[in-house]
Every structure is written in C-alpha cells, then in structure tokens.
Chains A and B, each alone.
Chain A
C-alpha cells in the first residue's frame, strides 16, 4: 500500500504489526498463527469501521488523493478508440480540460473532463486542473460537435475551480462559464456528468449541466472549496476539514438535495485502490442511464434537463404573501404556491 492518508494510520500500523509478528515467528520458528489470525480479523474489522463511515473531511482527502484516477484514467478504462481533440479555435489548447471522441461499447460518444496532472511537471502544464476560458470554450466546441452529430456527451468533473488569474479574467472567464451553462441547457443529446474527484464551483458546473449527474462515493461538490470557505468564515484556510463538515459536500448530501441522481460506490479505501473494478461499475451505470434517456426525443431531453435544474432550491413563500393574495381570484397565486411546494417540500409556509 502507498499514499495512505492520516486517518488511515491505525490500519497501516496494525498491518506493520502483523507483518512483524509473521516475520518474527518465521525467524524464531514459533507458531503465532492463532495470534495472527486474531489480528487479521481485527484488521478487517478496523478496515470496515474506518471506511464504512467516512467523515466529509476524510472523503475530501480521498477526493484529492494524488493517486486518485483522473479523467483520462477513466476515459481509457471505460471507453475504447479514444481520439483526443485539441483547442478552442480561438486562442489556445487548455490542457486543464481534455476531450474527444470515444466508443462506449459500439456507441460513439463525446467525452470531456477536467484533467489534473500526474506529477508536478504535468500539473504545471495543466494548471492543476483549473481551466482558463479557452478550456471551457474547447469543451463547448466539442459539445456543439456532439450535438450536431447526435452523439451523447459524457463529462468527468474534477477541478478545484476555474483558474483565478488575470489572463483568465481578461479573456472572459465568467463569460466562458456562463455560456457553457446556457448552451448545455439546450443541446438535444443526452448529457451525463460524473463528479469523479473534486467539484469546485463554477469551473466544475461549466461541465455539469446534464440530464443525469452522478457522483463517485467519495467525491465532493460545492460552491466554494472548503479551504476557501474556511478562509472566509474563520480567516484560516487550514480549517478546511472543519468547513468540509459544515458545507454538505458529499455525494450523500447532494443526493438528499436531489442535485445528483446516483452515487457510484467506490472500492474500499477509495477509487485509487482498484480502478478497473470501479470503471466497470461506472461503465454499467453510464450505460444504464444512457439507455433510459435513449427513449426521449431531442425536445424531451432538453425539457428533462431543464426540469432537473429548475426544481433545485430551498425557499419559503412567506405568510405575508398568502395574506396579500388571499383575496385575489385564483390563478397566478395558486400557480406560485405549486411551484414553491415542489422545490421546498419542507417549506414552513
């Protein structure tokens, strides 16, 4: 095992103890098999305890694990015949986003994803997976292509956020993100988005307007990185763990908010422990969602996507409004109530 996180330490220590005991027994010719069996059992129990109820902060660390599979890893593991396509045709090729054509079984699809680097050099070239406007515009170009040729779009989300730099601002970072949000809403092909690591803010959402949004079990998704939230809340970015607990960033939370449709289970210990197994599970899930969506017409796909996002939000129609509208004939007020009843079922009107 390599790349253990701080919270995995007890497990590592127990493993060392077991190995040591085994070695000692062999050297001295003493039979510790009972003892070892007991420790192995304890190890399995501990593992179960440790991984079954991970805290949001622990998940955040897994989502950011340096060995965690990236978009390209998933693309190669799930699809065949990947042809990478480059550039936004306007300014440059942003390596923080990759994309191109691939086959899912026999089906040609367009795949796009944020791309973190594998090492420092790679990370610098890819801006640690934080795109500039040209990255978002490359993604848009590929999606328009997919829409034209009626190919489903699969996106992989894995970024701390859009790159916060002066050149990004000058070239229209906001406009690039905004345009993706608007255009993704009206493509007449199925769009499936998978949050595979960290879904950070607008830079993540710019690839995230799908008919289905799936999340890997330990992935996180939020409006601001827990580090950013901590520095605003407590003027201390190092309190990210604390912020992670507060901000409801896990797949479970987002499923409860109906922001995502499905949680894709990860191998015990995280995605990096067994990519082939995870890729198989994810592939089946993507296929299942695609086949569900395949029955919808272009217009129905657009409407399905619209309704998915339309209903998100938590708010209350205050009682003052009820009093005001009470005397009015029915029609509009009722309609408003109906609208608010849907997204905020628990509204305390």
Chain B
C-alpha cells in the first residue's frame, strides 16, 4: 500500500519558456560570481565581505561598502563631500556624463575621503569607487586626495588609501595629468615628515593613478586577483604583438615581480591594517628588550 504513495498519478504540464510567467525574484537577491559562475544569496555574499564562497573571487566594492567594512562604526566623518567637477575643456558630452555618473552611482566623484578610526586608531581614509566614471582621476579626485594628504599631515595621523581607477580622466586632459604631480608632491611632503601612508590596490587600478599616489605607499597591499598596471593588456598586446599570460598584471603577478608588498585577502585586511597601525604607534613604555 505504501507503494501507491510513490506512484505518480498526476503529471504536471510545464508551460513553454515563452508563456511561462517571469519568476518574481527581487532585484539583487541572488548574485552570480563572474569568475566561477557560482550563484549565491546576496546576503550570504555580503556576510562574506563580497568574496565568492567557492572561488574566493573578490567582487568590486563601492566606496561606501568599503568604508563601512573598515571604519569603526559611526567614526567616519567625510571631508570635501561637495567638491564637484567643472568642464574646463568644454569637452563634448562631459557635463552630461558627469550628471549621469552622479545619479547612477549616488556619489559626487570617484573618491570618498574622510577622517575615521580603524581598530580605534585615528586615520585619514580615502577610498576610490570604480562605479563613478571608472574611477578616473580628474581635478576633483586629485584635489580631494591632496586635501586628504594635507589633512593627515596637519593632524599627524596615518593615511590609508584604497585605489581603483581606469586612469587619468581624458575629459580634463592636461588638468587630469597634473593631478598626478599634485598628489605625489603632497605625498612627498607628508612622507618626508615621517607620515605613514598605506596604499591598497583594488581591482582594477591603472594608468595615472597607479603611476602616482597608488604606487607611493610606504606599504603597498593589494586584494587577490586585482589587476594593477600602467598600460592595459590590450594596448600592450598590440604593441608587442604577443598574447600575454592569463595572470598578467594580477596582484599575485605584481607581488612576484617585486612591485607590491603583499596580497591580502579581504577578510584579513582589517586585522592587518590594525596591526600595521599598531606597529607604527610610538609607545613610551616599550623599551628595546633591555
């Protein structure tokens, strides 16, 4: 008699894909890993600091996601939030694109800067966001970063910057280029005064940002798999007429070639930063083992 239970009596008719009603999955409930294709709940992914549970792919983060992950709760005080770009070259379409980028990303520019504490240590933190104009550096990014550096110098606290950028912003041409000199000069002042600057490279960091403040850290860290370089793969392949290896310009590749200090998994980032900050805190009560 139990057998009857397992006997199939009804058959379901499955409507063809065309007339099947679209299943109502709320936007953003699930996430597919772009690297391994694993589908996971967004909530799970977030709990995992947006790192794929199956292949450890580090998803890109917006500036605020990262700030919320790192800064002690409620400690972040934003600086220069209202700086916005002009259109100094009257570059066709630039003003409209800026408008779109602002409304799409909810950010005023490609970097968020502020004062906060990390593991109770006061720092100046600058975090770039690739979702605004591909993280490109124009006058505003250069100015905000320079002011952040000057703030760190003025208040004698360490500086931590997370970079992600497609490079200098073409639409401001020479003014964008000069931001490289401006930010680097500010770092020269800060660092020659004994200031601590930790630079963290995230996916992707290229061009004028890599070739200025991003590569000038006293310590240069990078997230696993992050692509970091000066020129892009396609440009290089066209120049040398060769196919480049798959791992070209990854954080691991850069570490192997001596360009960065350490590849750091996202879950280890906060503990490591805290440890570094701790090790740069001058303590009167610690003597040299004597």
A interface, CB within 8 angstroms of B: 162-166, 168-175, 177-179, 181-183, 185-186, 201-202, 205-206, 208-209, 221-224, 229, 232-233, 246-249, 253-254, 257, 259, 305-306, 309-310, 312-322, 324, 336, 339-340, 343-344, 346-347
Q: Which chain A residues border B80 with CB–CB below 8 Å?
A: 336
CA distance A163 to B231 in the complex (A): 9
Interface string of B226-251 (1 = CB under 8 A from A): 00111100011001101010001100
Minimum CB–CB distance from A226 to chain B (whole Å) comes to: 10
The answer to whether A171 and B230 touch (CB under 8 A), given A202-B177, A321-B82, is: no
* 4 closest Cβ pairs, A-B complex: A321-B82, A164-B231, A313-B139, A181-B184
**Chain B neighbourhood of A178, CB < 8 A:** 180, 184, 210-216
Q: Which residue of A247, A317, A322 contacts B173 across the interface (Cβ within 8 Å)?
A: A247
Given contacts A164-B230, A224-B170, are A201 and B177 in contact (CB under 8 A)? yes
Measured CB to CB, the closest approach of chain B to A261, in angstroms, equals 13
Chain B CB within 10 Å, residue with most, of A164, A208, A222, A253: A164
| CB closest residue in chain A, given B235 | A164
B residues in contact with A202, CB < 8 Å: 168, 177, 180, 207-208, 211-212, 230
Tell me, rounded to whole Å, the shortest Cβ–Cβ distance linking B83 to chain A: 5
User: Known contacts A170-B257, A185-B188, A209-B185; is A317 also within 8 Å of B82 by CB?
Assistant: yes
* Contact, CB under 8 Å: B211 / A173: yes
Q: Which of B177, B214, B239, B248 contacts A164 (CB 8 A)?
A: B239
Interface residue from B82, B146, B168, B178 paired with A259 (Cβ < 8 Å):
B178
Interface of B toward A, CB cutoff 8 Å:
80-86, 88-89, 91-92, 108, 139-140, 142-143, 146-147, 168-170, 172-182, 184-189, 191-192, 207-208, 210-216, 228-231, 235-236, 239-240, 242, 244, 248-249, 257-259
Specify the main secondary structure of chain B where it touches its partner: helix
Assess the A248–B174 pair: CB atoms within 8 A. yes
Say how far A327's CB is from chain B's closest CB, in angstroms.
Answer: 15
Once bound together, how far apart are the Cα atoms of A177 and B86, in whole Å? 27
Q: How far is the CB of B221 from chain A (nearest CB, A)?
A: 15
5 further contact pairs, Cβ within 8 A, besides A174-B230, A253-B174: A165-B231, A169-B229, A175-B259, A223-B168, A315-B84
Q: Which residues of B contact A321 (CB under 8 A)?
A: 81-83
Q: Can you list 28 A-B pairs with a CB-CB distance of less than 8 A?
A: A164-B230, A164-B235, A164-B236, A164-B239, A165-B236, A166-B236, A172-B215, A173-B231, A174-B214, A181-B211, A182-B185, A186-B192, A202-B211, A202-B212, A206-B211, A223-B169, A247-B89, A248-B174, A249-B174, A309-B182, A312-B179, A313-B175, A314-B85, A314-B139, A314-B172, A315-B86, A319-B82, A324-B82
Q: Are A185 and B88 in contact (CB under 8 A)?
A: no
Complex CA distance for A183 and B82, rounded to whole angstroms? 31
Which chain B residue lies CB-closest to A322?
B82
Distance of A11 from chain B, by nearest CB (Å): 31
Complex interface: chain A residues within 8 A of B146 (CB): 310
Distance in angstroms between the alpha carbons of A174 and B86 in the assembled complex: 28
Residues of A within 8 A of B257 (CB): 170-172
A223→B244 contact, CB < 8 A: no
* Other-chain residue from B91, B172, B178, B187 in contact with A182 (beta carbon distance below 8 A): B187
Q: Is the CB of A314 within 8 A of B208?
A: no
Most A CB within 10 A of own CB, among B147, B182, B230: B230
Q: A169-B229, A169-B249 are in contact. Are A232 and B170 (CB under 8 A)?
A: yes
A170 to B208, CA, bound (A): 17
- Assess whether B84 is in contact with A316, with CB atoms less than 8 Å apart: yes
Task: Provide the bound-state CA to CA distance between A171 and B258, in Å.
Answer: 8
Q: Are B86 and A314 in contact (CB under 8 A)?
A: yes
| C-alpha gap A215/B180 in the complex (Å) | 19
Give the interface centre of A171, A175, A232, A248 by most chain B CB atoms within 10 Å.
A175
Pair A309/B173 contact, Cβ less than 8 Å: no
- A208 & B216 in contact (Cβ 8 Å cutoff): no
